[in-house]
Amino acid sequence: MNRFPLIQRYSIFVDLPEHSRLITLSEGYTPLIPLPHIANHLGGSFHLYAKYEGLNPTGSFKDRGMTAAISEAVGRGAQTVICASTGNTAASAAAYASRAGQKAVVLIPEGKVAAGKLAGAVAYGAQVIQIAGSFDDALRMVVQISERHPIALVNSLNPYRLEGQKTAAFEICDELGKAPDWLCLPVGNAGNITAYWMGFKQYHEYKATGFPHILGVQAAGSAPLVLGHPIDHPETIATAIRIGRPARGEQALQAAEESGGKIIAVSDQQILEMQRALASEGVWVEPASAAGLAGLADEIQKGKFDPKGKCIVAVCTGHGLKDPDIIAKSMPAPQRIPAEIDALEDLILG
């Protein structure tokens, strides 16, 4: 199959300036993986899919937005790009900037970034700077510096990020033949929920694909959109959504309202349970990526939502390999035996 880069495949829907120069790593085209066991466990008689965004080139959906943002930035001559990141934006910006021959500077909150993400940003050659503060502090700093100097900001405040991220909604509609009844996804800085809603609306105008209700899910210790106010010290094991002042919070609330959906919060324990449930269907995701589905499960189990006959897509935003430490912390360690066949037999048969 000839796989056109996303922003060419969907060029009539993705609004990029003329000056853009295509920078791509073959992002997108991620699968919709059926989740029959989880659907059964939640009562059955509905169709449930994971949109497995962990299969993008740097392991998260951020690549969809980054191909667009970097293509625009390099086309206008930007030599340096900068972002604040809980990890995945950093790895993605680093990869696409390197590909474009640009310098990437990434600011990450001290001590709260998963090992695989930090390693990625370093491996792709970014200048990685830890700041003694939160993601929200880092975002404030990169916004300020990009206003003062010719450095391109590639956080999702950059409108081209959303232009690229919309393509996930198009792919879902193309594969299902229409929009699903519900879309559930984690919400951190709220760029992705905003992009999905833009994407579904735009595709419907051209292709009459309909609209999903959107269920946005935050972690309970980091749920400013549920509580209705910013959080100064957000806490959750789901580090990708550990954000107290979502840059696109207003738009996220609007997407939930317009779509007839909502934004809710789930506990870290619910997130980890859903991470395990997904892994037991062969889909290993990082904790944040399980939050959307954990929210759906919560709604169903509390009797607030009847999934019967529905088609539901859970966006699994990033790969489990990004955050190996959480497995070491939350699962039993491997068993250790002498290098002898008897010991092996005793252990697995005995």
Ligand X SMILES: *Cc1c(COP(=O)(O)O)cnc(C)c1O
Query: Are 110 and 133 spatial neighbours (Cβ–Cβ below 8 Å)?
Result: yes
Q: Please give the residues from 110 up to 149 whose contact with ligand X meets the rule CB under 6 A.
A: none
Site string for ligand X, 181-200 (x = CB under 6 A): -----xxxxxxxx-------
Q: Which distant-in-sequence residues (6+ apart) come within 8 Å of 325 by Cβ?
A: 114, 115
Q: Please give the residues from 306 up to 335 whose contact with ligand X meets the rule CB under 6 A.
A: 317-318
Record the tokens describing residue 219, joined without a space. Answer: 């972690």
* Alpha-carbon dihedral 271, 274, 279, 281, rounded to 10 degrees: -160
Query: Are 289 and 209 spatial neighbours (Cβ–Cβ below 8 Å)?
Result: no
Residue 150 CB, shortest distance to ligand X, in Å, is 26
Pairing of strands 127-131, 47-52: unpaired
User: Residue 286 interacts with ligand X (CB under 6 A)?
Assistant: yes
Query: Taking CB positions, which residue lies at the least distance from ligand X?
Result: 318
Record the tokens describing residue 167, joined without a space. Answer: 């393509």
Measured distance CA(214)–CA(30) in Å, rounded: 20
Cβ atoms < 10 Å from Cβ of 319: 22
Instruction: Return the bridge partners of 316, or none.
Output: 52
Query: Are 314 and 50 spatial neighbours (Cβ–Cβ below 8 Å)?
Result: yes
Measured distance CA(55)–CA(61) in Å, rounded: 8
Pick between residue 31 and residue 75 the one whose CB is nearest to ligand X.
Answer: 31
User: Residue 156 interacts with ligand X (CB under 6 A)?
Assistant: yes
Record the tokens describing residue 107, joined without a space. Answer: 């600011």
- Looking from the CA of 171 toward its CB, the CA atoms found within 13 Å total 26
Residue 219 CB, shortest distance to ligand X, in Å, is 10
Query: Are 118 and 87 spatial neighbours (Cβ–Cβ below 8 Å)?
Result: yes
Residue 63 CB, shortest distance to ligand X, in Å, is 10
Site string for ligand X, 78-117 (x = CB under 6 A): ----------x-----------------------------
User: Residue 263 interacts with ligand X (CB under 6 A)?
Assistant: no
Residue 327 CB, shortest distance to ligand X, in Å, is 15
The one segment of 5-13, 105-113, 264-272, 282-290 that binds ligand X by CB under 6 A: 282-290
User: Residue 241 interacts with ligand X (CB under 6 A)?
Assistant: yes
Please give the distance of CA 342 from its chain centroid, rounded to a whole number.
46
Q: Please give the residues from 12 up to 41 whose contact with ligand X meets the rule CB under 6 A.
A: none
Residue 54 CB, shortest distance to ligand X, in Å, is 8
Pick between residue 312 and residue 314 the one whose CB is nearest to ligand X.
Answer: 314
SS3 197: helix
Residue 210 CB, shortest distance to ligand X, in Å, is 23
Measured distance CA(244)–CA(238) in Å, rounded: 13
Of positions 289, 296, 298, 307, contacts ligand X by CB under 6 A: 289
Residue 85 CB, shortest distance to ligand X, in Å, is 8
User: Residue 180 interacts with ligand X (CB under 6 A)?
Assistant: no
User: Residue 249 interacts with ligand X (CB under 6 A)?
Assistant: no
The one segment of 4-12, 103-111, 255-263, 283-291 that binds ligand X by CB under 6 A: 283-291
Pick between residue 48 and residue 252 the one whose CB is nearest to ligand X.
Answer: 252
SS3 243: coil
Residue 227 CB, shortest distance to ligand X, in Å, is 16
Footprint on this chain of ligand X (rule: CB under 6 A): 60, 62, 88, 156, 186-193, 240-241, 286, 288-289, 317-318
